[in-house]
Amino acid sequence: ETGVTQTPRHLVMGMTNKKSLKCEQHLGHNAMYWYKQSAKKPLELMFVYNFKEQTENNSVPSRFSPECPNSSHLFLHLHTLQPEDSALYLCASSQERSGGAGSYNEQFFGPGTRLTVL
Protein backbone atom coordinates (compact mmCIF):
# COMPACT_ATOMS: atom_id res chain seq x y z
CA GLU A 1 0.00 0.00 0.00
CA THR A 2 1.20 3.47 -0.79
CA GLY A 3 0.09 6.95 0.18
CA VAL A 4 -2.92 7.31 2.42
CA THR A 5 -5.50 4.55 2.73
CA GLN A 6 -8.91 4.62 4.35
CA THR A 7 -11.30 1.85 5.34
CA PRO A 8 -14.11 1.24 4.87
CA ARG A 9 -14.80 3.08 1.63
CA HIS A 10 -18.55 3.04 2.27
CA LEU A 11 -20.43 2.80 5.55
CA VAL A 12 -24.14 2.82 6.31
CA MET A 13 -25.12 3.00 9.94
CA GLY A 14 -28.12 3.64 12.12
CA MET A 15 -28.21 6.43 14.63
CA THR A 16 -27.69 4.04 17.54
CA ASN A 17 -24.72 2.21 16.04
CA LYS A 18 -21.06 2.54 16.96
CA LYS A 19 -18.52 2.31 14.18
CA SER A 20 -14.96 3.40 13.46
CA LEU A 21 -13.21 4.82 10.43
CA LYS A 22 -9.60 3.94 9.89
CA CYS A 23 -6.84 5.85 8.16
CA GLU A 24 -3.28 4.74 7.54
CA GLN A 25 -0.46 6.69 5.95
CA HIS A 26 2.64 5.11 4.45
CA LEU A 27 4.52 8.35 3.81
CA GLY A 28 6.41 8.77 7.06
CA HIS A 29 4.53 11.96 7.86
CA ASN A 30 4.15 13.37 11.36
CA ALA A 31 0.73 15.00 11.10
CA MET A 32 -2.69 13.58 10.28
CA TYR A 33 -6.08 15.18 9.74
CA TRP A 34 -9.77 14.35 9.56
CA TYR A 35 -11.98 16.39 7.24
CA LYS A 36 -15.70 16.31 6.57
CA GLN A 37 -16.79 16.95 2.99
CA SER A 38 -20.43 17.79 2.40
CA ALA A 39 -21.99 18.81 -0.88
CA LYS A 40 -21.62 22.51 -1.75
CA LYS A 41 -19.67 23.24 1.43
CA PRO A 42 -15.96 23.82 1.95
CA LEU A 43 -13.99 20.99 3.42
CA GLU A 44 -14.38 21.18 7.17
CA LEU A 45 -11.29 20.45 9.19
CA MET A 46 -12.35 18.33 12.16
CA PHE A 47 -9.20 17.16 13.93
CA VAL A 48 -5.46 17.61 13.63
CA TYR A 49 -2.79 15.42 15.15
CA ASN A 50 0.86 16.47 15.16
CA PHE A 51 3.31 13.94 16.52
CA LYS A 52 0.31 11.95 17.84
CA GLU A 53 -0.89 14.90 19.91
CA GLN A 54 -4.22 16.43 19.10
CA THR A 55 -3.58 20.06 18.33
CA GLU A 56 -6.91 21.14 16.96
CA ASN A 57 -10.55 20.29 17.45
CA ASN A 58 -12.80 22.61 15.50
CA SER A 59 -15.87 22.45 17.75
CA VAL A 60 -16.68 18.95 16.58
CA PRO A 61 -19.59 17.26 18.43
CA SER A 62 -18.54 14.67 20.99
CA ARG A 63 -20.25 11.93 18.99
CA PHE A 64 -17.05 12.02 16.90
CA SER A 65 -14.03 10.77 18.80
CA PRO A 66 -10.57 10.64 17.22
CA GLU A 67 -7.75 8.35 18.18
CA CYS A 68 -4.15 8.45 17.01
CA PRO A 69 -2.22 5.49 18.45
CA ASN A 70 0.91 6.22 16.39
CA SER A 71 2.06 8.54 13.65
CA SER A 72 0.86 6.18 10.90
CA HIS A 73 -2.68 5.44 12.07
CA LEU A 74 -5.69 7.59 12.75
CA PHE A 75 -9.18 6.50 13.74
CA LEU A 76 -12.49 8.29 13.94
CA HIS A 77 -14.90 6.60 16.34
CA LEU A 78 -18.56 7.28 15.66
CA HIS A 79 -21.51 6.86 18.00
CA THR A 80 -25.11 8.07 18.08
CA LEU A 81 -24.68 9.99 14.86
CA GLN A 82 -27.35 12.11 13.22
CA PRO A 83 -28.52 12.02 9.60
CA GLU A 84 -26.83 15.38 8.99
CA ASP A 85 -23.51 13.67 9.71
CA SER A 86 -23.81 11.85 6.40
CA ALA A 87 -20.87 12.99 4.30
CA LEU A 88 -17.54 12.00 2.83
CA TYR A 89 -14.89 11.78 5.53
CA LEU A 90 -11.40 12.41 4.28
CA CYS A 91 -8.15 11.65 6.02
CA ALA A 92 -4.95 13.46 5.12
CA SER A 93 -1.36 13.48 6.26
CA SER A 94 1.55 15.87 5.95
CA GLN A 95 5.03 16.53 7.16
CA GLU A 96 4.71 19.37 9.61
CA ARG A 97 6.22 22.53 8.26
CA SER A 98 9.62 23.19 9.78
CA GLY A 99 9.13 26.90 9.51
CA GLY A 100 10.81 29.58 7.48
CA ALA A 101 10.53 30.49 3.88
CA GLY A 102 10.50 27.66 1.41
CA SER A 103 8.83 25.02 3.57
CA TYR A 104 5.20 24.01 3.61
CA ASN A 105 3.14 21.04 4.61
CA GLU A 106 1.43 19.79 1.47
CA GLN A 107 -1.35 17.42 2.45
CA PHE A 108 -1.83 13.99 0.94
CA PHE A 109 -5.39 12.73 1.00
CA GLY A 110 -6.95 9.31 1.26
CA PRO A 111 -9.88 8.25 -0.94
CA GLY A 112 -12.41 8.93 1.78
CA THR A 113 -15.19 7.02 3.50
CA ARG A 114 -18.71 7.71 2.26
CA LEU A 115 -20.82 7.66 5.42
CA THR A 116 -24.60 7.43 5.37
CA VAL A 117 -26.51 7.73 8.63
CA LEU A 118 -30.05 6.43 8.52
Partner 1 sequence: AQTVTQSQPEMSVQEAETVTLSCTYDTSESDYYLFWYKQPPSRQMILVIRQEAYKQQNATENRFSVNFQKAAKSFSLKISDSQLGDAAMYFCAYLGTYKYIFGTGTRLKVLA
Rule CB under 8 A: which residues touch partner 1? 33, 40-43, 45, 56, 88, 90, 92, 96-97, 101-102, 104-112
- CB nearer to partner 1: give 15 or 103: 103
- CB nearer to partner 1: give 1 or 16: 1
CB of 109 to partner 1, least distance (A): 4
- CB nearer to partner 1: give 17 or 86: 86
* Residue 24 CA to its chain's centroid (Å): 10
CB of 4 to partner 1, least distance (A): 8
Cα–Cα distance, 52 to 15 (Å, whole number): 29
CB of 14 to partner 1, least distance (A): 24
- CB nearer to partner 1: give 62 or 98: 98
CB of 44 to partner 1, least distance (A): 9
